[in-house]
């Protein structure tokens, strides 16, 4: 009976909070960002300081959630999987440096690099070298893509991977790796994944509404929406893979979760595990704790993770040094519209609130004309763009044409599915575009621009490789992959560089130009990155 008495007391303590007043910073930020937003998103949020403030902002009272309504939290589930993993490590059932093959079914073919295996810490920190998704991932439904992914397909896809670098040396976000880790956690627990998470996490933390899969009786669930406001299907994941993004939780649940992260000793049964999950496990490209992305800051490290599914977006961030935390849950997918990071960082700061909603807008005729023509998506897939009666139409090769609406932030977007095109104007007046869909970002360049690129021997590209510090704690890594020069800034995704002149490379879709400088002996000594009219010089380490 003692555990039940303790749990009830903890849950009660965690639920002591105040609704934000009309003039609170929390309410002001939500109103500034979402009032009249074209997405129609309904948002539940909490700001944790010495107290807990909560607020709900919704433009449609018929779908207005409350603090007990559950949302799909997407990839924030990975941090919870990290907590379960910490428990298994504490119990001696596995170790961070165990090769993953030791914890998978006998006969599973797992790739290695020059004899170096993928270890559990590599899956945890997205440094395994596994691609974003398994090769045998072939969803039958785009609006519920993981529902029919079998464990046999997931693990069988490991055999299709050829690693290009030693595990642990390069960071690349991988849902594939996270699903494999979830399966390993499930197998090592000796129980089904849902029961193990409920017993080991939801119950001790007083997360009474949280669940995997179908909601328990009496639990209200929010309906998901595309960024256009259209309703969409919930996502269903195989139970053992749910650690990648299968948790559904309420605002109250997530406040309890973050309060435990801020004060691990408040939950004695989980204190060691909670503290362990904040330990750094990798700093290769991004600083990673146990499922958390860590942003270094003089004011105190920020632990954060966003989550996105087909119809939901979510974000959690906390700062142990200051005792602050933010939870934001949205019943609308906002991943391709910048996510929720701007709202969270605004709430954690003290600067004036400058957030703005995205509203429908009429595109300028000159912009429509400038974007018309032939384009290449990621330098390969042809795409035609045309204008008719003030509307932009696009058609990728082999696909149907569709119209794009326009918003006040300058983006073009599809209304029946999630796709966003962002035009970028270079200093010479030429345009490129970025395509955002499903969390991915692809560059789009004009056919004419692509045709004028300089030919460089792939072997000569290695001369440019290296780390170029742009600022303290912020480095641009330049490397060759698949015979193409790439760059990746700290905490950001990698992008391809196109040679346009001697020692000059561009990523037009991002408005980036890089000019390399050489020593007298011909070796590369530095680069100058130009973006948005600003030049930043970095000397190679």
Q: Which residues contact 119 (CB under 8 A, 6 or more apart)?
A: 96, 97, 98, 99, 100, 167, 168
Going by their DSSP bridges, the two strands 112-113 and 116-117 should be labelled as: antiparallel
Write down the pLDDT at residue 22: 52
**Exposed (0-12), middle (13-18) or buried (19+): which is 390, by Cβ within 10 Å?**
exposed
What is the distance between the alpha carbons of residues 74 and 140, in angstroms, rounded to a whole number? 20
Q: What is the DSSP letter of 253?
A: H
Using CA atoms in the order 481, 482, 486, 488, what is the torsion angle rounded to 10 degrees? -50
Identify the structural domains of the chain with CATH numbers, from first to last.
Answer: 2-348 (3.40.710.10), 365-451 (2.40.128), 458-539 (2.40.128.50)
Helix axes 175-189 and 77-90, enclosed angle (nearest 10): 40
**Exposed (0-12), middle (13-18) or buried (19+): which is 58, by Cβ within 10 Å?**
middle
> Minimal CA–CA distance to 207: which of 154, 257, 157?
257
For CA atoms 158, 163, 169, 175, the dihedral sign is negative
Write down the pLDDT at residue 21: 55
Q: CA-based diameter of the chain, in Å?
A: 77
> Minimal CA–CA distance to 252: which of 65, 457, 440?
65
Tokens read off for 122: 């590599």
Helix, strand, or coil (residue 61): helix
End-to-end CA distance of the chain: 60
Tokens read off for 17: 């909070």
Give percent helix, percent strand, percent coil of the chain, each to the nearest 5. Answer: 25, 30, 45
What is the distance between the alpha carbons of residues 412 and 242, in angstroms, rounded to a whole number? 33
Q: Give the CB-side neighbour count of residue 62, counting CA atoms within 13 A.
A: 1
The total of other beta-carbon atoms located within 10 Å of residue 230's CB is 15
Helix axes 341-348 and 25-34, enclosed angle (nearest 10): 150
What is the distance between the alpha carbons of residues 372 and 423, in angstroms, rounded to a whole number? 12
Per-residue pLDDT of the chain (541 residues), as tens digits, is: 222 222 222 222 333 345 555 558 999 999 999 999 999 999 999 999 999 999 999 988 889 999 999 999 999 999 999 999 999 999 999 999 999 999 999 999 999 999 999 999 999 999 999 999 999 998 899 899 999 999 999 999 999 999 989 999 999 999 999 999 999 999 999 999 999 999 999 999 999 999 999 999 999 999 999 988 899 999 999 999 999 999 999 999 999 999 999 999 999 999 999 999 999 999 988 899 999 999 998 889 999 999 999 999 999 999 999 999 999 999 999 988 878 999 998 999 877 889 999 999 999 999 999 999 999 887 767 899 999 999 999 998 878 999 999 999 999 999 888 899 999 998 888 899 999 887 778 889 888 644 455 677 878 899 999 999 987 777 899 999 888 899 988 877 788 888 888 899 988 767 788 999 999 999 999 999 987 667 889 999 9
Question: What backbone torsions phi and psi does residue 306 show, to the nearest 5 degrees?
Answer: -100, 160
Write down the pLDDT at residue 220: 97
What is the distance between the alpha carbons of residues 169 and 362, in angstroms, rounded to a whole number? 46
Q: Give the CB-side neighbour count of residue 315, counting CA atoms within 13 A.
A: 25
Q: Which residues contact 68 (CB under 8 A, 6 or more apart)?
A: 209, 219, 220, 250, 251, 252
Q: Which residues contact 85 (CB under 8 A, 6 or more apart)?
A: 94, 120, 124, 181, 185, 290
Tokens read off for 154: 């997931």
What is the distance between the alpha carbons of residues 479 and 463, in angstroms, rounded to a whole number? 9
């Amino acid at each position: 009976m003692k555990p039940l008495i303790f749990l009830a007391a903890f849950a009660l303590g965690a639920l002591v909070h105040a609704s934000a007043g009309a003039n609170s910073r929390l309410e002001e930020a939500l109103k500034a960002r979402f009032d009249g937003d074209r997405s129609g998103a309904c948002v539940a949020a909490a700001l944790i300081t010495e107290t807990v403030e909560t607020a709900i902002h919704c433009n449609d009272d018929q779908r207005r959630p409350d603090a007990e309504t559950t949302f799909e939290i997407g990839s924030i589930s990975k941090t919870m999987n990290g907590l379960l993993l910490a428990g298994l490590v504490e119990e001696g059932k596995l170790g961070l440096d165990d090769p993953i093959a030791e914890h998978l079914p006998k006969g599973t073919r797992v790739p290695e690099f020059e004899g170096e295996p993928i270890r559990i810490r590599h899956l945890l920190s997205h440094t395994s070298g596994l691609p974003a998704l398994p090769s045998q991932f072939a969803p039958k439904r785009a609006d519920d893509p993981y529902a029919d992914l079998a464990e046999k397909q997931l693990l069988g896809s490991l055999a299709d991977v050829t690693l290009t670098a030693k595990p642990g040396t390069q960071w690349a976000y991988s849902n594939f790796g996270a699903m494999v880790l979830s399966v390993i956690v499930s197998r090592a627990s000796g129980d089904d994944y849902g029961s193990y998470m409920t017993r080991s996490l939801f119950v001790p933390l007083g997360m009474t509404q949280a669940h995997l899969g179908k909601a328990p009786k009496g639990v209200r669930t929010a309906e998901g929406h595309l960024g256009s406001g259209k309703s969409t299907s919930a996502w269903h994941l195989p139970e053992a893979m749910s650690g990648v993004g299968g948790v559904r939780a309420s605002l109250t649940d997530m406040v309890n979760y973050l309060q435990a992260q801020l004060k691990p000793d408040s939950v004695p049964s989980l204190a060691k595990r909670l503290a362990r999950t904040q330990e750094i496990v990798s700093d290769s490209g991004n600083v990673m704790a146990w499922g958390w992305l860590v942003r270094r800051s003089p004011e105190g490290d920020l632990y954060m993770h966003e989550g996105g599914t087909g119809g939901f977006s979510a974000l959690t961030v906390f700062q142990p040094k200051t005792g602050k935390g933010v939870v934001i849950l949205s019943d609308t997918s906002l991943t391709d519209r910048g996510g929720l990071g701007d709202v969270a960082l605004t709430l954690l700061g003290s600067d004036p609130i400058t957030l703005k909603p995205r509203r429908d807008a009429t595109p300028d005729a000159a912009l429509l004309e400038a974007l018309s023509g032939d384009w290449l998506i990621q330098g390969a897939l042809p795409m035609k763009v045309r204008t008719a009666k003030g509307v932009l139409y696009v058609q990728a090769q082999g696909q149907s044409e569709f119209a794009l609406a326009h918003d006040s932030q300058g983006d073009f977007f599809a209304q029946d599915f999630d796709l966003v095109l962002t035009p970028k104007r270079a200093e010479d007046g030429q345009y490129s575009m970025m395509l955002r869909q499903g969390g991915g970002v692809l560059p789009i360049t004009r056919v004419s621009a692509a045709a004028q690129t300089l030919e460089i021997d792939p072997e000569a590209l290695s001369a440019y490789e290296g780390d170029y510090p742009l600022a303290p704690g912020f480095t641009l890594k330049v490397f060759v992959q698949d015979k193409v020069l790439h760059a990746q800034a700290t905490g950001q995704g990698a992008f391809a560089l196109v040679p346009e002149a001697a020692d000059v490379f561009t990523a037009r879709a991002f408005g980036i130009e890089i000019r390399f400088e050489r020593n007298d002996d011909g070796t590369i000594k530095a680069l100058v990155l130009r973006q948005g009219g600003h030049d930043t010089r970095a000397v190679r380490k």
